[in-house]
Structure 1
Amino acid sequence: MLAVAKFGQEVNALETNRTNQEMVATSLAKGNLTGKVILIWNAFSDMIEAVRFKHKDGNIGALQIESGISATHDSRGDESSMAIVLDDLVPLFRKRSLFVQMDIVRI
C-alpha cells in the first residue's frame, strides 16, 4: 500500500486492527503520503456483522476474527469492529480501475 501511494496512486486501505491502522497512519504522515491513502477501519467478511478480535501475544499482526457476536457488544474499540462486505465498497470504486490485495490466513 505504501509503495503504491509513493508512486502517486490513490489507495483505499481497509484495516481491521486499530493499532495497525495507527501505525499505518504514522508511516503515511512520515512519508508525506496522507493525501494519497484513505484508511477504512472495518473488518471484511462475507456478511455484515459485529466481530470480535483475538490477539496472538508477541505478534500484533496476528489477529483472528471471531464472528457471531451481538452488535450491541460492538464497542469499535481495540477488541471489536463491524465487518463489511465487498458491496459496501463498490461506491468508492465506480468507473475506476481496481486492484485488490487481501492478507488472509485461515486458522
Structure 2
Amino acid sequence: MERLVTSWCNYGASPQSYICPPETRPGKVAIPSSGKVAIPIINLGEALINRNDTIINVLKATQKFGFFQAVSHGVSEKLSNDTMKVVAEFFEMLMEVKASLYSEDPNNIHHALYKIW
C-alpha cells in the first residue's frame, strides 16, 4: 500500500524509481517568459481531410509542450462528464480499496477493471 500515490503524495518529492537519470531525460524546453503562451489546439476533425498535417501538428505539439488540447474529437460531452465522475469516484475510494486494485504488472489492467465494474 505504500506504493500508492495517495500514500506518498504529501511528502513533496517523487519516489526515486520515478526519477529518470539526467543522461536519459529529454532536452530542456525553453518556454518564453514574456507574452502569453497558448496551449496547442489540435482539430482532430481535420484528420479526415488531411491526416498527415494532423499527425505533424500532434508531433510538434508533443515535442514542444508535451501535451495539447484536442477539439472535434467526436467524444460526446456526456461521455466526458461520465468519465470525470468515475475518475472522481475512484479517487474518493478508501485507500484499502484502491490498494486492492494496485499492481506493478501492466498486463493486470483487466483484473483491476473487472474489480471496479
What TM-score range do you get, normalising by the shorter chain? under 0.3
Give the number of the structure whose alpha-carbon radius of gyration is greater: 2
TM-score, normalised with respect to structure 1: 0.24
Bigger proportion of residues as strand: 1
TM-score, normalised with respect to structure 2: 0.22
